[in-house]
Chain A
């Protein structure tokens, strides 16, 4: 699959590396050219430097031709914006958005976006660990 990953922080890097290992064709977008150094050499990811909330940058990353688009930066609004451009304008079939705010996650899930809320997951997991499960 051709996959575009926005954000090369800890989450983005980990996801991009795992997907490359599975032989997917991965393009990573990040504002900061230095963050790409975090990706292990030889992963074969393609890099695009730029702001993921700029439609031009998303086109440069050939998002239109992608099978999946993952918005994984640390900013909720940037992720929601980029994801909606990918889904509604560039017609990417599978779009996943990382969010910290549970309310934004629920609200936009109702609007048809696939959201993953780090806060909810973490709270859930901590609760389970506490219960000894």
Chain B
């Protein structure tokens, strides 16, 4: 796939490396001259110098033939406008934006950005998880749905019951459990144990109810 990445900071640059390793074709746009030079040493011709919200720069990066544009800068206003310009001017089929201020996630979705990655929320959730203060961590989010990881606590009401008998919230599916580093796909008859890490698919509204069930 040909992917345009706007913003060559640590996030954009690491993403570019990963995508290249997976065999994708990329263009990386960077507006800081010095940073652009550094990136060119590593990525060569794939790096484009300029402001990604400028239509000429997007064109130079090949946005008009790209299948996906990722806005990965640390500034939300730039990420939003880059995605919108890619959609309006070059009809890029799919845009994904990094959201730095959690308050902006709903706004981005409302204004036509196809997917958002809320880095601040993810980091704080992960820190909470590592500190052991939260037992539910969001791993991935889609428009209204998410994949979460939940630790089954001691004395949880789910213990001793098969999965099919649990009163789960609507549109929620328990996918797998990880026990002693072994992954087990959950079926109706599966039983959960305290200390299991459960991977579940749920919705924004289902998340709270899911916390209560497990």
| Contacts from A to B (Cβ < 8 Å) | 53-56, 75-78, 80-82, 84-85, 88-89, 101, 103-104, 107-108, 110-111
Contact = CB atoms under 8 A, between A and B. Distances in A.
Interface in B70-90: 75-78, 80-81, 84-85, 88-89
Contact of A81 (B55, B80, B89, B103): B80
B77 A78 contact: yes
Contacts of A76: 53, 81
Interface stretch (B20-28, B104-112, B166-174, B196-204): B104-112
Contact of A77 (B55, B78, B88, B103): B78
Given A55-B101, A104-B85, A111-B88, 13 more contacts: A54-B101, A55-B104, A56-B103, A76-B53, A77-B80, A77-B81, A78-B77, A80-B80, A88-B107, A103-B55, A104-B53, A107-B89, A108-B88
Given A80-B81, A88-B111, A89-B110, A53 B76 contact: yes
B27 to A, nearest CB: 19
B60 to A, nearest CB: 13
B37 to A, nearest CB: 24
Contacts of B78: 77
A81 B111 CA distance: 10
**Chief secondary structure at chain A's binding surface:** helix
Q: Which among A76, A80, A81, A84 has the greatest number of chain B C-beta atoms within 10 A?
A: A81
A81 B77 contact: yes
Nearest to A81: B77
Given A76-B53, A110-B88, A81 B110 contact: no
Interface of B: 53-56, 75-78, 80-81, 84-85, 88-89, 101, 103-104, 107, 110-111
Contact of B103 (A55, A84, A103, A107): A55
B110 A77 contact: no
A76 B75 CA distance: 13
A101 B78 CA distance: 14
B88 A81 contact: no
A76 B80 CA distance: 12
A53 B108 CA distance: 13
A100 to B, nearest CB: 11
Contacts of A110: 88
Contacts of A78: 77
Contacts of B107: 55, 84-85, 88-89
B89 A103 contact: yes
Contacts of B56: 103
24 contacts: A53-B76, A54-B103, A55-B101, A55-B104, A77-B53, A77-B77, A77-B78, A77-B81, A80-B80, A81-B76, A81-B77, A81-B81, A82-B77, A84-B80, A84-B107, A84-B111, A88-B110, A88-B111, A89-B107, A89-B110, A103-B89, A104-B55, A107-B84, A107-B88
A120 to B, nearest CB: 15
Contacts of B76: 53, 81
Nearest to B112: A111
B110 A80 contact: no
A85 B77 CA distance: 11
A84 B107 CA distance: 9
Contacts of B81: 76-77, 80-81, 104
